Amino acid sequence: MNYYKNAIRLFSVTLTTLFFIHCGKSEVPQEIVKEPEPTEEETPITPTTPTPIDVIELIKTKSSLIKSIISTDTKILAEGITTYSIKYVNTTDRNMNISIIVADMGYKHVSAQVLNPYNSSDNKFQNLPDMARANEEVGTKIWAAVNGDYFSWSNMLTTGPFIHDGVIRKGNPVGSSRPAFGITRVGLPVFLNPPASQSAVFQYGDNLLKHLIGGNQWFIYNGNKITINDSTVEPRTAIGMREDKKLIAITVDGRQASHSNGMSFVQLQSIYEALGAKFAFNLDGGGSTVSVARRGNSAEWDILNNPSEVPLRAIANGIGFISTK
């Protein structure tokens, strides 16, 4: 059957060709061949937009800290970077105020960086709004930031590792279990130095990191809650990340009874658990706790929380949440 079909097809094409030559036309019509339909394996994958999370609803429904909500606020600073605030009464009838920054690294233009006082190679202190301004580079905007690691008042050194823009200010000791958050030289977010009870998920030497900042207490590592004994209630700052690469920074106001009482490590751990964090740890707190957000397109940063220390404390480093879009 295929033989006859091919013969008829060849005869048809020959007649058409002779007709065009007889009419003085030199162009021979070409047979139209359709592109083959792509197979399932060849079908291009259209990038999907990252899915936002309902931060306030998750904390309300999946933690047991809130007795009643006083007020909430949500602000989209830029695509992929959003701030949230919750004022509430906790289950022991104390006032609370927390501020949350979510930076979604599912967007290629969103990332994080360590902030360095005055963007200098010297050991210095600087308040967070001014530090954000000093660290902003052409082509990027720092939309939000929080304070960073613990530090020494005497020598201005951070307690944990400190790498800024590829420069190792203080190295990360091999075998350390002191938590650290970093961005690799190719832009991947990593959480280093697992607690003693956990196996390492990320292993990167200092030479492979563009940014690294330390903390002092793991809350969650690789989805596992870490046992915590400290129940001290203080102002807190923490950093974490979900499986979908949403970075979550939280500041908790404290030492201000009429405004906010502060949190224990266990309470802050429960918030990260409610938000689905795979990794989370504590940063410097107390009088250092502060979060800021950029005021539109201006080079000004407004304080989101109500720091317990006035005037605003100068600190040794911070974490900025940036967009290149």
Distance between CA atoms of 164 and 116, rounded to whole angstroms? 7
Burial class (CB in 10 A: 0-12, 13-18, 19+), 188: middle
How high is the pLDDT of residue 106? Answer: 97
Residue 5 in any domain: the answer is no
Q: How many domains does the chain have?
A: 1
Specify if 158 maps to a domain: yes
Sheet holding 301-303, edge to edge: 110-115, 318-323, 141-147, 291-294, 301-303
Within-domain flag for 18? no
Answer whether residue 35 is part of any domain. no
Residue 70 structural domain: 55-323
Q: Give the per-residue pLDDT at 4.
A: 43
Q: How far is CA 151 from the centre of its chain?
A: 23
Whole-prediction pTM value? Answer: 0.86
What pLDDT does residue 283 have?
98
Is residue 142 situated within a structural domain? Answer: yes
DSSP 154: T
Closest CA to 121 of 162, 161, 149: 162
pLDDT at 48: 74
Q: Is residue 174 part of a domain?
A: yes
Predicted pLDDT of residue 76: 97
Taking the C-alpha atoms of residue 194 and residue 20, their distance in angstroms, rounded to an integer, is 79
**pLDDT under 70 in the chain at which residues?**
1-47
Residue 207 placed within a domain: yes
Give the pLDDT confidence score for residue 47 in this predicted structure: 58
Q: d(Cα 142, Cα 89) in Å, to the nearest integer?
A: 32
Task: Compute the Cα dihedral for 121, 123, 126, 132 and give only its sign.
Answer: positive
